Amino acid sequence: MSRTRTAMLAALALVAGASGTAFAVVPDGVGAAAVPCTVDYKVQNQWSTGFTAAVTVTNNSAAKSSWSLKWSYAGDQKVTSGWNAKLSQSGAAVTAANESYNGTLATGGSASFGFQGTYSGTNAVPATFTLDGVTCNVDDGGGGPTDPPDPAGPKVDNPYAGAKVYVNPEWSAKAAAEPGGTRISNQPTGVWLDRIAAINGVNGGMGLRDHLDTALTQKGSGELVVQLVIYNLPGRDCAALASNGELGPTEIDKYKTQYIDPIAAILADPKYAGLRIVNTIEIDSLPNLVTNTGSRPTATPQCDVMKANGNYQKGVGYALNKLGDAPNVYNYIDAGHHGWIGWDDNFAPSAALFKEAATTEGATVNDVHGFITNTANYSALKENNFTINDNVAGKSVRESKWVDWNRYVDELSFAQAFRNQLVSIGFNSGIGMLIDTSRNGWGGAARPAGPGATTTVDTYVEGGRYDRRIHIGNWCNQAGAGLGERPKANPATGIDAYVWMKPPGESDGSSKFIENDEGKGFDGMCDPAYKGNPRNGNNPSGALPDSPLSGHWFSAQFQELMKNAYPAL
């Protein structure tokens, strides 16, 4: 049981314990009147060389129109960036002064700010804080040296670092049953909760508790990540009929009470507190509100409805808020891919929309640990044979038919740039990106060995690009695709992990209409004979034939992915 400290505590001496937290030592007879201010200093995330912290200062003296909080570190901590305060440092001494918008501190009023820093060795909480020169009490929120540790511990900077990742036994069995499938059947993949029934298991299959119980067995004495895909928004995927869901456009209350609330209750079970649970929050839907609405040629009536009713933002915000309550849960919002929102008129508006969703229905940016790109998509991780800055025959690569004025040519450059954009508009500076590499390898005999001919910018790009799709807007069961980079943690700057969130071998959609009770429609983009629409430049779909419903096992696709894997199996 943690102690609760209030302004009733007057700290005339402060003691730092072995846990690196500070707490107050209170002499007898000292009352509330002796406490001019209190400071709550929490290390939120910590890794081997850095940390983020949240600080709240409460003023119990006369009202202030401006304020300055100061402290000194005992170690080599350095503040590198901050938000909601002007932070400066000289040696070990740090000063946090108010911004123009939060200078007023009424009697009993509080101000909060945060920052990112570096350290080596230990990262002890400062022993003394002063507000405008007056010493404050320190409130560490109940984590003092005599408190038992939180069994789940604080959130780590990167949940994938130093951890195994859950292998779904149901997917693993299907993969192992395929010829050659045992080469990858031990890889971790996402568990898709794509309808209410999936929470308890469909047709005798594993439900969420079954997966988490199995994960506890796989965990052993180390750390283990479980990857869940939260995917059941009202009016889901308004521009892709194959992945429509069970909930109609207005069924936001049902989404909350029958889908998110039961998942949140399971994730909050103390039994699972030792697992690191990564949620991929609602793939594909939010970017549709930017790219497929209004007067754009790609607009659909269904997306206009969802933009008007706001239920995508409400659903995502509610999910972030409720699921993020558990200290061992890490939410990553789906952020499309470079071939969707990499253009100038989509890039910043998409980030702004994600911020809107992350600050509605009680959610805050602190409920967002990061973002994931390329979920269930095929965009190449890294195009090595050309860059966005190349010029050929007097023309920029951006002018090529394939790139078509996009700012990015691959997922890695896009994910890193989009992360910077998200931080610039108010997401925490410690957010990390995930990239789904389950189907973006593009290896095999068709993989170019080097750049294309420099005759024209189109021959240059066409001859050198790894991504062999007919058009970058093609998304359904793509012919020629291969497994990409195997899942790994910390593969590049700003990237928490490469993941296989979409289980290889699970269909994107059926190549013809199939009656079903899963709410899944038929999308021409999954028909190999389809001639296209404005969202793929009216090009052929490039889809494999004879595909089953989305999420169902597609043996021919699984074999294609293994054959064209890069790195090769």
Catalytic residue positions, numbered: 284, 508
Structure tokens at 65: 């129109």
Report how far residue 472's alpha carbon sits from residue 405's, in angstroms, rounded to the nearest whole number.
13
DSSP 291-308: HSSTTSTT--HHHHHHHH
3-state secondary structure of 489: strand
3-state secondary structure of 493: coil
Strands 22-25 and 13-16, by their bridges, are antiparallel
Report how far residue 224's alpha carbon sits from residue 259's, in angstroms, rounded to the nearest whole number.
25
Report how far residue 543's alpha carbon sits from residue 477's, in angstroms, rounded to the nearest whole number.
5
Provide the β-strand partners of residue 70: 95, 130
Structure tokens at 279: 């949620």
Strands 78-83 and 110-118, by their bridges, are antiparallel
Distance of CA 8 to the CA centre of its chain: 40
Report how far residue 559's alpha carbon sits from residue 556's, in angstroms, rounded to the nearest whole number.
5
3-state helix, strand, coil in the chain (%, to 5): 25, 20, 55
The angle subtended at Cα 511 by Cα 192 and Cα 470, nearest 5°, is 95
Structure tokens at 425: 């508009």
Report how far residue 185's alpha carbon sits from residue 30's, in angstroms, rounded to the nearest whole number.
65
Whole-Å CA distances, 139 to 11, 15, 157, 230: 10, 12, 23, 36
Contact 175, 505 (CB under 8 A): yes
Alpha-carbon Rg for the chain, nearest whole angstrom, is 26
Structure tokens at 409: 């040519």
DSSP 459-477: HHHHHH-S---SSTT--SS
